[in-house]
A = this chain, B = another copy of it.
Amino acid sequence: MKRKELKGWNGCPVRYAAGIFADKWCFVILRDVLLHGKRYYGEFQSSEEGISSNILAARLTHLEAEGMLTRHTDRRKKSRVFYLPTAKARALLPAFLEMMVWSTVHDSNTEAPPSFAAAFRDDPKGTVAWYEAEIDRVNATLT
Protein backbone atom coordinates (compact mmCIF):
# COMPACT_ATOMS: atom_id res chain seq x y z
CA MET A 1 0.00 0.00 0.00
CA LYS A 2 1.89 2.98 -1.27
CA ARG A 3 1.53 6.67 -0.92
CA LYS A 4 0.22 6.99 -4.44
CA GLU A 5 -2.91 5.08 -3.64
CA LEU A 6 -3.83 7.47 -0.87
CA LYS A 7 -3.39 10.48 -3.08
CA GLY A 8 -5.25 9.07 -6.06
CA TRP A 9 -8.88 9.31 -4.94
CA ASN A 10 -10.07 12.64 -3.81
CA GLY A 11 -12.54 11.83 -1.09
CA CYS A 12 -15.29 10.24 -3.02
CA PRO A 13 -16.25 7.12 -1.05
CA VAL A 14 -16.87 9.29 1.97
CA ARG A 15 -18.80 11.80 -0.09
CA TYR A 16 -20.90 9.03 -1.62
CA ALA A 17 -21.79 7.69 1.80
CA ALA A 18 -22.47 11.22 3.01
CA GLY A 19 -24.94 11.83 0.21
CA ILE A 20 -26.91 8.74 1.09
CA PHE A 21 -27.10 8.66 4.87
CA ALA A 22 -25.10 11.46 6.55
CA ASP A 23 -28.09 12.91 8.29
CA LYS A 24 -29.42 12.46 11.79
CA TRP A 25 -32.76 11.12 10.66
CA CYS A 26 -31.25 8.69 8.19
CA PHE A 27 -29.05 7.35 10.95
CA VAL A 28 -32.08 6.82 13.17
CA ILE A 29 -34.18 5.21 10.43
CA LEU A 30 -31.37 2.89 9.39
CA ARG A 31 -30.77 1.98 13.01
CA ASP A 32 -34.44 1.16 13.44
CA VAL A 33 -34.69 -0.94 10.31
CA LEU A 34 -31.34 -2.71 10.67
CA LEU A 35 -31.09 -3.13 14.40
CA HIS A 36 -34.52 -2.73 15.96
CA GLY A 37 -36.69 -4.74 13.62
CA LYS A 38 -38.88 -1.79 12.66
CA ARG A 39 -40.59 -1.96 9.30
CA TYR A 40 -43.82 0.05 9.39
CA TYR A 41 -44.16 3.77 8.86
CA GLY A 42 -45.85 4.11 12.22
CA GLU A 43 -43.03 2.26 13.93
CA PHE A 44 -40.44 4.66 12.59
CA GLN A 45 -42.61 7.55 13.61
CA SER A 46 -42.90 6.37 17.17
CA SER A 47 -39.17 6.10 17.84
CA GLU A 48 -38.21 8.10 20.87
CA GLU A 49 -36.34 10.71 18.86
CA GLY A 50 -39.67 12.00 17.61
CA ILE A 51 -39.20 12.55 13.90
CA SER A 52 -41.83 14.75 12.26
CA SER A 53 -44.14 13.09 9.84
CA ASN A 54 -43.16 15.17 6.82
CA ILE A 55 -39.46 14.64 7.43
CA LEU A 56 -39.95 10.92 7.91
CA ALA A 57 -41.82 10.68 4.61
CA ALA A 58 -39.07 12.66 2.87
CA ARG A 59 -36.31 10.47 4.28
CA LEU A 60 -38.08 7.23 3.43
CA THR A 61 -38.49 8.47 -0.12
CA HIS A 62 -34.83 9.44 -0.25
CA LEU A 63 -33.64 6.12 1.13
CA GLU A 64 -35.89 4.28 -1.29
CA ALA A 65 -34.52 6.34 -4.19
CA GLU A 66 -30.99 5.51 -3.08
CA GLY A 67 -31.74 1.81 -3.07
CA MET A 68 -31.60 1.38 0.68
CA LEU A 69 -35.24 0.49 1.27
CA THR A 70 -38.08 -1.02 -0.70
CA ARG A 71 -41.67 -0.03 -0.05
CA HIS A 72 -44.43 -2.64 0.19
CA THR A 73 -48.08 -2.64 1.06
CA ASP A 74 -49.28 -5.25 3.50
CA ARG A 75 -51.22 -7.80 1.55
CA ARG A 76 -53.82 -8.50 4.19
CA LYS A 77 -54.35 -4.87 5.13
CA LYS A 78 -53.75 -2.53 2.25
CA SER A 79 -53.65 0.60 4.35
CA ARG A 80 -50.48 -0.59 6.04
CA VAL A 81 -47.12 0.03 4.42
CA PHE A 82 -43.80 -1.45 5.33
CA TYR A 83 -40.25 -0.87 4.25
CA LEU A 84 -37.59 -3.55 3.93
CA PRO A 85 -33.86 -2.91 4.00
CA THR A 86 -32.15 -3.87 0.76
CA ALA A 87 -28.89 -5.79 0.53
CA LYS A 88 -27.20 -2.42 0.10
CA ALA A 89 -28.57 -1.21 3.40
CA ARG A 90 -27.77 -4.48 5.13
CA ALA A 91 -24.21 -4.21 3.88
CA LEU A 92 -23.86 -1.13 6.07
CA LEU A 93 -24.08 -3.27 9.20
CA PRO A 94 -20.30 -3.59 9.67
CA ALA A 95 -19.86 0.18 9.46
CA PHE A 96 -22.77 0.78 11.82
CA LEU A 97 -21.51 -1.73 14.33
CA GLU A 98 -18.06 -0.14 14.26
CA MET A 99 -19.66 3.23 14.88
CA MET A 100 -21.61 1.81 17.76
CA VAL A 101 -18.50 0.37 19.33
CA TRP A 102 -16.95 3.81 18.99
CA SER A 103 -19.95 5.35 20.74
CA THR A 104 -19.87 2.90 23.59
CA VAL A 105 -16.23 3.84 24.19
CA HIS A 106 -16.64 7.61 23.90
CA ASP A 107 -20.09 8.27 25.32
CA SER A 108 -19.94 8.10 29.08
CA ASN A 109 -23.72 7.78 29.15
CA THR A 110 -23.94 4.97 26.68
CA GLU A 111 -26.88 2.65 27.11
CA ALA A 112 -25.18 -0.17 25.28
CA PRO A 113 -24.14 -3.06 27.48
CA PRO A 114 -20.38 -3.60 27.69
CA SER A 115 -20.99 -7.05 26.28
CA PHE A 116 -21.79 -5.50 22.93
CA ALA A 117 -18.38 -4.02 22.21
CA ALA A 118 -16.72 -7.13 23.61
CA ALA A 119 -18.80 -9.44 21.43
CA PHE A 120 -18.10 -7.40 18.33
CA ARG A 121 -14.38 -7.25 18.95
CA ASP A 122 -14.33 -10.93 19.71
CA ASP A 123 -16.17 -12.01 16.62
CA PRO A 124 -17.13 -9.21 14.24
CA LYS A 125 -18.33 -11.49 11.47
CA GLY A 126 -20.40 -13.53 13.88
CA THR A 127 -21.97 -10.38 15.28
CA VAL A 128 -22.87 -9.13 11.83
CA ALA A 129 -24.28 -12.55 11.00
CA TRP A 130 -26.42 -12.45 14.11
CA TYR A 131 -27.97 -9.12 13.13
CA GLU A 132 -28.46 -10.35 9.57
CA ALA A 133 -30.32 -13.34 10.91
CA GLU A 134 -32.51 -11.06 13.02
CA ILE A 135 -33.35 -9.04 9.93
CA ASP A 136 -34.32 -12.19 8.06
CA ARG A 137 -36.40 -13.35 10.98
CA VAL A 138 -38.39 -10.12 11.08
CA ASN A 139 -38.75 -10.05 7.30
CA ALA A 140 -40.12 -13.58 7.37
CA THR A 141 -43.10 -12.42 9.42
CA LEU A 142 -44.05 -9.92 6.71
CA THR A 143 -43.74 -11.77 3.45
Contact = CB atoms under 8 A, between A and B. Distances in A.
B6 A113 contact: no
Interface residues on A, range: 35 or more
Nearest to A7: B36
Contacts of A116: 5, 9
B17 A99 contact: yes
A100 interface: yes
Nearest to A26: B22
A56 interface: no
A115 interface: yes
Contact of A22 (B22, B88, B134): B22
A102 B17 contact: yes
